[in-house]
Structure 1
């Protein structure tokens, strides 16, 4: 499908369905400088992220994780909303979005002005104690990491998804990970790791919104992770049409009424401009 025809088709889809259930993935944030996990065929570009069980069960894994995160955090901290985030916020302001459900943990939808996105996998800018459940800002924890590990601060590494960085060939055994200041427990980013369950209240809120929607729009997600794919399955089971704006294959390709392969930011901005016209 040519670009103009694809944008026309996507605009028509949005115009005909006034209560959109929108699900977004990493493809909406790559334009903000945040790397993604998968290629256009849906395969991993890099090793899988750390698993919950490994993080909780191994001090060595936590040392490696937080060392890489300390180096990679500035990419997340300095990221700003891109054209896709802004366009979706404009669609919401026009009362065309029943719910925005995001698999991303970067907080950029809120920063763009989306009022109440459901952040399925949590927020990377918050750290939670796994014992007492108290939280602290990630920026504050970054200061603690840097002050306790000054020899690591000057290291440079290639940015990786979700505030990670590629550090190889280093001895992480001397990297100090501060404990919870309240109870001494294990601190973890307040995000859903692989092998960890999505909080049921988020799933319930998303399912309720989907039941009150008349179509689903997937933006920048391959849907390879089941936590997102299940909503496409639910939409299909309810006979809701599904459109996807994604560069490459999605797990739901056989469920789609429309697929547009184009950069998310430019495509959505064009759709909003056409609706305004």
Structure 2
């Protein structure tokens, strides 16, 4: 089966110029704050939001995607994603979620970092209600018959079935030499033979007298469609919002791009914060600020919430939290 990796149409890339509209950080903060201030703003985030957590983007200025063999590479790449910490943008958005400015957040990311940023204030059920993972989660695995397995448990089973690869991964951990990691936990390896890697069978299938070693992370791979219930919920979140805020996404995948188009069709105000060309750039009705969210989001949240920042220790802590650890140029 031939699968095309979603990307920005070449016509848009060819028309893009480096002469983006000039705006100062202070003006960007003011504009973002005024956009968010009325509240009830739905938000869509992409891989660019997680770059400061050390997870490289697929696309954009430095994004790439290569994937000749997912199963081994996902085994090795899961640990860096599992250990990644929310960055300043995650916590700024968490403060807006906690304060009710952003009632619903839709993320294309599968790293669970938005949930981590809210783990001290919201339980799992409430986070699932307020955060929609459009493309699934890397932290769960399911077999071809739908049996779900916790990812940590599955990683342990993979380690037991592949002791030589567990040793190799431990050596990487000990030296700090982690391979380059993509947002879905896939890593880039060269000169590696995959034939010896074994995937253990689903224990639930075995209990049902069925042999089944076809398992995958519970996320949407390129070429697959999102579930109908997820699609319906994403559309409902757009329909019930007063405005749409897009952060760190090129909107190359249609599942997110169509949500923007739906918002524009409904005459919702739309503001994008992103660096570099996006699939949405030619669309009328889209307002875009080309700037790193790291530079402006904390100050924008402070401008929106005003005295609430000082009065609420949870918000104040969120706006002091977050790592800034972008991946190195040569990782």
- Cα deviation for residue 98 of structure 1 reads 3.2
Cα contact 2:246–2:271 (8 A) shared by 1: yes
Say which of 89, 112, 116 aligns to 2:117. Answer: 112
1:203-218 equivalence runs, <5 A? 203-218=231-246
Partner of 2:180: 159
Counting matched residue pairs gives 259
Local SS of the residue matching 2:97: helix
Using the alignment, how far apart are the partners of 1:165 and 1:94 within structure 2?
Answer: 36
Say which of 34, 37, 40 aligns to 2:55. Answer: 34
1:88 to 2:93 alignment: yes
TM-score by length of 1: 0.88
Say which of 268, 277, 301 aligns to 1:240. Answer: 268
- Cα deviation for residue 264 of structure 1 reads 1.7
Which segments of structure 1 move beyond 6 Å, counting only runs of 4 or more? none
Partner of 1:177: 199
1:17-96 equivalence runs, <5 A? 17-40=38-61, 45-47=64-66, 49=67, 64-96=69-101
Cα contact 1:83–1:266 (8 A) shared by 2: no
Using the alignment, how far apart are the partners of 1:238 and 1:98 within structure 2?
Answer: 19
Partner of 2:251: 223
Q: Flag structure 2 segments of 5+ consecutive residues without an equivalent.
A: 1-22, 173-177, 206-210, 307-331
Over residues 145-186 of structure 1, what are the superposed CA-to-partner deviations in whole Å (9 max), with x where a residue is unaligned? 112112123154522212121112222111111121121321
Over residues 178-225 of structure 1, what are the superposed CA-to-partner deviations in whole Å (9 max), with x where a residue is unaligned? 121121321110001111110111111111121111111001100011
Over residues 223-267 of structure 1, what are the superposed CA-to-partner deviations in whole Å (9 max), with x where a residue is unaligned? 011010000100111111110111111111233542122222332
Using the alignment, how far apart are the partners of 1:67 and 1:137 within structure 2?
Answer: 18
Partner of 2:315: none
- Cα deviation for residue 44 of structure 1 reads 5.5
1:12 to 2:68 alignment: no
Local SS of the residue matching 1:221: coil
What is the RMSD computed on CA atoms of the aligned residues?
1.7
Say which of 138, 143, 148 aligns to 2:161. Answer: 148
Cα contact 1:98–1:209 (8 A) shared by 2: no
Over residues 50-88 of structure 1, what are the superposed CA-to-partner deviations in whole Å (9 max), with x where a residue is unaligned? 7xxxxxxxxxxxxx3221112111101101111111111
Cα contact 1:84–1:266 (8 A) shared by 2: no
Q: Which has the larger radius of gyration?
A: 2
Q: Which has the higher strand share?
A: 1
Over residues 23-69 of structure 1, what are the superposed CA-to-partner deviations in whole Å (9 max), with x where a residue is unaligned? 000011111111110123xx96233x57xxxxxxxxxxxxx322111
TM-score by length of 2: 0.74
Local SS of the residue matching 1:175: coil
- Cα deviation for residue 134 of structure 1 reads 1.1
Cα contact 2:39–2:101 (8 A) shared by 1: yes
Using the alignment, how far apart are the partners of 2:278 and 2:302 within structure 1?
Answer: 26
